[in-house]
Amino acid sequence: MERTELKTLGEFGLIDRIKTKFTNKNAETIKGIGDDAAVIDVGDKYMLVTTDILFEGIHFDLAYTPLRHLGYKAVAVNISDIAAMNGLAKQITVTIGLSNRISVEAIDELYEGIKYACDDYNVDLIGGDTSSSASGFVISITATGFVDKDKIVYRNGAKPNDILCVTGDLGAAYFGLQVLEREKQVYLANPNMQPELNEKEYLVGKILKPEARTDIVHELKEAGVVPTSMIDISDGLASEILHICTQSRVGAMVFEDKLPIEDITMLTATEFNISPITAALNGGEDYQLLFTINQADFEKIKNISDILPIGYITADTKVELALNSGGTAAIKAQGWNHL
Ligand code: TPP
């Protein structure tokens, strides 16, 4: 029998392949796979369902990830997917895979973080599953939420001349991870040395304790606007812009000088000799929202502090970065790909 390496498909190729094997038996109530959350028509609203799994070694390293933070993050990344559909989460289920390396106190700590997030985002824990795991610690959360039918936002609605916006700075989580990895190596070589994280607190906080931008969902509602497309930035800005453009059959022009990058991110980029622009485009795990909005609606939200225009949508399918040095460069998806 033929054997094809998963790498040849890539994560998104694999999702496309799976999609072709299933037909939607309830097309009148269910939208197919392809957005941050699944959409189910439940009468006067749409119900949203999303799930995210985090594996030790792939998504987190317990050498520097407090379980309290892991619990919080595992919830926040799901809430972020619901927010990306312009919805608010209501319930979560939590499934964990445990080894005997994990103590009861550690599990208490994990659930302390989960509870903290449940309180912050006003969601209830309604169930889950527990298993032993032979491949390290695993946590998978499923979240459900709701959105008014006239407020739902998919990835495929971007139109030429829409403004492309992000909701906060980029690249910080990537450098937070680099700093933690560097400190881990220092610690392994010399366990008596104290980690020097103080000035990097902002970056480390971004990778260990991401926030879901539910505040933006509220702000958009208050302003009475609905974006034309939206996605959350988990794999990297470049990859997410390409998802919006491919699914909306449009292109985009993004301005390098508009990419929001904090000073500490810039400084740390120099220290690591990595381009801050590359980190902003491809670093991933920023968990900001990326959305497009028509120009009239943009006028109504342009003074909201965390809504930052970074470019606009074009009618052709080129996705480009207008460089500070003049000229343009094609934006390619070099962000996180699990395969
Ligand atoms: N290695 C460790 C130990 N920790 C990390 N956070 C990373 C690598 C970086 N990393 C892991 S997953 C990921 C990144 C940048 C991308 C986002 O995760 P994903 O599961 O793709 O999120 P989803 O798109 O499913 O919401």
Q: What is the pLDDT of residues 241-280, one digit of tens each?
A: 999 999 999 999 999 999 999 999 999 999 999 999 999 9
Ligand 1 pocket, 177 CB below 6 A?
A: yes
Centroid of chain to Cα 62: 21
Atom of ligand 1 nearest to the CA of 234: 17
pLDDT, tens only, 52-66: 999 999 999 999 999
Nearest protein Cα to ligand 1, atom 10: 59
Give the whole-number percent of the chain exceeding pLDDT 90. Answer: 82
How far, in Å, from the CA of 50 to the mean position of ligand 1?
16
Contact by Cβ (8 Å): 319, 245: yes
Q: What's the mean pLDDT in 306-321?
A: 97
Q: What is the mean pLDDT of residues 106-122?
A: 98
Report CA dihedral (212, 218, 220, 221) to the nearest 10 degrees.
140
Testing ligand 1's pocket by substitution, the residue of 137, 243, 336, 339 carrying the most ligand atoms inside 8 A of its CB is 336
Residue identifier of the C-alpha nearest atom 22 of ligand 1: 234
Residues 6 or more apart whose Cβ sits within 8 Å of residue 121? 75, 76, 79, 89, 212, 214
With contact defined as beta carbons under 8 Å apart, do 203 and 264 qualify? Answer: yes
pLDDT computed for residue 195 by the predictor? 67
Specify the residue with its C-alpha closest to ligand 1, atom 3.
60
Mean pLDDT for all residues in the chain: 94
pLDDT per position as a tens digit, 158-191: 999 999 999 999 999 999 999 999 999 887 887 7
Residue 193 confidence (pLDDT) above 80: no
Q: pLDDT tens digits, residue range 15-45?
A: 889 988 988 888 878 877 789 999 999 999 9
pTM: 0.95
Tens digit of pLDDT for each residue in 44-102?
999 999 999 999 999 999 999 999 999 999 999 999 999 999 999 999 999 999 988 89
Q: Give the torsion sign (CA, 239, 243, 246, 252).
A: negative
Is the pLDDT confidence value at 210 over 70? yes
The DSSP bridge partners found for residue 132 are: 98
pLDDT for res 337: 77
How open is the CA angle 171-120-214, to the nearest 5 degrees?
55
Ligand 1 pocket, 233 CB below 6 A?
no
Residue 232 beta carbon below 6 angstroms from any ligand 1 atom: no
Which pLDDT does position 101 carry in this prediction? Answer: 87
ipTM, interface predicted TM-score of the complex: 0.94
CA of 305 to the centre of ligand 1 (A): 27
The pLDDT score that the predictor gives to residue 159 is: 98
